[in-house]
Amino acid sequence: MKDLYLIYKNLTRNKLRLFLTCFAIFIAFFLYGLLGALKGAFDAGIELSADDRLIVVNKINFTQPLPLAYFNKVKAIEGVKDVSHANWFGAYFQDQRRPMVGMAVDPETYLQVYSELQLDEASLQRWFNDRQGMIVGEAMATTYGWKVGDRVPISSNIFSQADGSHTWDMVVSGIFTAEDKQLDTNYLLFHYKYFIETQTFGSDWIGWMVLTTDDPALNEQVAKAIDALFANSSSETETSTEKAFNKAFIEQIGSIGFILTSVVMAAFFTILLIVGNAMFLAIRERTREIAVMKTLGFTATRVFRLVLSESILLSLLGGLSGILVAYYTLEAVTSIPQIRSILPNLLLSKEIFLQALAYMLGLGLITGFVPAFRAMRLNTVQALTRG
């Protein structure tokens, strides 16, 4: 603690250099915070996937439908616990440029399969009994200010009704939450029957099926049985775990993780050179002062500690401000409903913060080690004579 003032004064002696070096670190950690949060948002669907849940889609691709008749056939397969189906609705509310996630589902089976969704009994009964009823996730209800009983026109950019209208009248039967707060609740669910009876094409077709198995160990066996059952039919299936499905879906955009990691690593490598060079020059300029300190009685290890602490402090100063600004930027960005509807889990998590903190310490240690070691090994007599 006695050396803290000395470290601080050494760090702030050249304010322009301090600012520029800190700024470089700031940028790197700001990017790390933002991109880490972005990656986390993409990965959230994968991380939160249930182990015992399988997704059955059309083998051609998941936008192609499956016959409704498959539903009962899958239900009869050994090892299948619950099965449900869903159709992508291509929903939007009032403004077509603001798409939202909406699915037509079989209410009872859907909630069996997605047991993590929480809905009170009254809401549940209201939904089951109202053909026009829909349940809305907490995040979506907050975004649009919807409450139970509200009559809401939901439009589709894919389907139309017999009269040519793209809008379905729906009533908010309940607002669901999720056990895990990280789970996305930014979507709505409504009756498959209401959807299929009113739309002009696609009757007796479903988008995909979701099922749970009796035991995750049976996943592979069940998946093979399903795909074998529909092999050589007009609609062959491809069954995968929810985790694998979500991963494949994300990877359609590109290897997000690889891109983000590459950008972050490039930024880190650059600051490693910048900060390393700045520290090296800073200590070199102080050769005589370090020699004087050693002459006064500062031990080599204490000098080593002083220089290394300075480097770590520099790294923390730039890094923490970068992470802090990233946090507030994300807070601001996620307050925009359009962004929240696309990336509901966009947040700077504790894990990202702790990782960033570890990188800050690592950066400080790496960039400070060589100058600190040189200061420690400095030949006092030569340094005093040279100066």
Which residues are near another protein by CB under 8 A? 2-3, 5-6, 9-10, 12-13, 288-289, 292-301, 380-381, 384-385, 387
DSSP state string for 85-119: EEEE--EESS-TTSB-EEEEE-HHHHHHHTTTEE-
Beta carbon nearer to another protein, 249 or 373: 373
234-261 CB burial, b ≥16 within 10 A, e <16: eeebbbbbbbbbbbeebeeeeebeeebe
For residues 247 and 302, which CB has a smaller minimum distance to another protein in the complex?
A: 302
Residue 128 or 373: the one with the smaller Cβ distance to another protein is: 373
Show the tokens assigned to 277.
Answer: 């060079």
User: In angstroms, rounded to a whole number, what is the distance separating the alpha carbons of residues 90 and 101?
Assistant: 7
CB of 12 to another protein, least distance (A): 8
Q: Where are the alpha helices (DSSP H) in the chain?
A: 4-11, 15-47, 70-75, 107-113, 121-129, 138-144, 192-198, 219-229, 242-253, 256-285, 287-296, 300-334, 337-342, 350-377, 380-386
Tell me how far apart the alpha carbons of residues 63 and 159 are, in angstroms, rounded to a whole number.
14
Q: For residues 156 and 287, which CB has a smaller minimum distance to another protein in the complex?
A: 287
Cα-Cα-Cα-Cα torsion 11, 13, 16, 18, nearest 10 degrees, comes to 0
Shortest spacing between CB 374 and another protein, in angstroms: 16
- For the bound state, the minimum distance from the C-beta of residue 258 to another protein, rounded and expressed in Å, comes to 45
Least CB distance to another protein at residue 18 (A): 12
Closer to another protein at the Cβ: 262 or 299?
299
Q: Quick one: 120 or 285, whose CB is closer to another protein? A: 285
**HSE toward the beta carbon, residue 66, CA cutoff 13 A:** 31
What is the smallest separation between the CB atom of 314 and another protein, expressed in angstroms?
15
CB of 311 to another protein, least distance (A): 17
CB of 6 to another protein, least distance (A): 7
Distance from C-alpha of 141 to C-alpha of 18, rounded to nearest angstrom: 47
Residues 6 or more apart from 40 whose CB is under 8 A from it?
345, 346, 347, 349, 351, 352
- Residue number with CB closer to another protein (119 or 378): 378
Between 299 and 338, name the residue whose CB sits nearer to another protein: 299
| Residue 306 Cβ vs another protein, minimum distance, rounded to whole Å | 10
